[in-house]
Structure 1
């Protein structure tokens, strides 16, 4: 990398490296590129039906493109959202690999608990061409007679919004069903791409009414009691002026 400093309106002078140094930089860059390409794991492009009527385990990347958003979903490893591109700004919000990260959901407080890596079945798909909102509904067996269901939609009446409705549902409980009693909770874990890490904060209003901002320098932060977000939080890139708002709600039953 070649860099220099200057003042607006004046000439900027660069000190160019010698030919030998340039050749070394180019060779190192090519070697690094070859190593990165060798580490890339190609996406499988096959469909394997699960044998259950009305549902299938798909090993093909699912794409949702509607309104302002282009999403890629991986059903066969945790049903995770692998990519979330905001089309008007051409911004990619998620950092992920096939096996991990992106937008994940678990069924316990511990990291990567049940629901994170299980195969999810596609139980319903509504393409935008039918006049409805673009959406997909997935289900993953998290054992004990429970399933984690997730519906991902781009709203037709407000294409700026990606809506994710997730729930843990009891499907086979009682004597002889194979179900068992355990404590579960829905945990959401998105991993974001930060183009300007020092300028990005998580901003929200806490339950106690105080305004909070958490920066990358804060490290891992655990929010409890009245310091928890009051219904929503926002990821703000102060450098680009872009932000992503995450409202959430709980429901019982």
Structure 2
């Protein structure tokens, strides 16, 4: 997995690289606000205790009184797991709005580079209990309602024997999207589309783990 959309530079508190990797948007449209904005590192630390986490907290201003906030954590006793807790919060909205923002949608879009595209599948158990496998021949696939993964879906490389498991709270995710490129793959998580207030942010908390099949 390529995490290149942002980097950490001790000489600066801002991060910005406009290429594939891990992106988040604030609307349903591709590359909407949140994708190329500068993210400020609010704080970060590395604890020495094995029960603590390595953390970094990022914030990006997406205009209209809205902030896209991202917490990235790695448990030091299990460095194979990366957890990302993202949210769209209303810090201030205009008069007459009733405290609510415009319509927003938290769209999480990681890009995975594939070494063996024809040997890769996305496998999961859907909310309705059915077993599903999506391959390159399936093209772009949108999963909604009972066809959504029940909190977990796995990118399986049958040639290398490696899998990447993405776990999430399905109650925070209204739609999942799989998009195949020539040698890469997007496994997207979409929240509901709705206005947010200070007390009702949109949030998706999810994690990635690489395992041996």
> Normalising by structure 1, what TM-score?
0.59
2:42 equivalent to 1:123: yes
Measure, in 1, the Cα distance between the counterparts of 2:85 and 2:9.
27
Measure, in 2, the Cα distance between the counterparts of 1:133 and 1:164.
12
**Which residue number in structure 1 is paired with residue 128 of structure 2?**
208
Larger Rg: 1
> Which consecutive unaligned segments of at least 5 residues does structure 1 have?
1-42, 49-55, 59-74, 77-97
Contact 1:137 1:152 in 2 (8 A): yes
More helix per residue: 1 or 2? Answer: 1
Any idea what the Cα deviations from partners look like across 1:186-225, whole Å, max 9, x if unmatched?
Answer: 1111111101111101111111110111111211111122
More strand per residue: 1 or 2? Answer: 2
> Which consecutive unaligned segments of at least 5 residues does structure 2 have?
1-6, 173-199, 202-213
Measure, in 1, the Cα distance between the counterparts of 2:24 and 2:121.
22
> Per chain length, whose mean CA-contact separation is higher, i.e. which structure has more relative contact order (CA < 8 Å, sep 6+)?
2
Moved beyond 6 Å, runs of 4+ = 43-46
Measure, in 2, the Cα distance between the counterparts of 1:181 and 1:190.
26
> Normalising by structure 2, what TM-score?
0.69
Measure, in 1, the Cα distance between the counterparts of 2:152 and 2:8.
36
**Which residue number in structure 1 is paired with residue 93 of structure 2?**
173
The Cα RMSD (Å) is 2.6
CA drift at 1:161 = 1.1
CA drift at 1:134 = 1.2
CA drift at 1:156 = 2.8
Measure, in 2, the Cα distance between the counterparts of 1:117 and 1:244.
26
| Number of residue pairs aligned between Structure 1 and Structure 2 | 165
**Which residue number in structure 2 is paired with residue 222 of structure 1?**
142
Note closer, same or farther for the CA distance 1:45–1:173 as it changes in structure 2 (3 Å cut).
closer
3-state SS of the aligned residue for 1:143?
coil
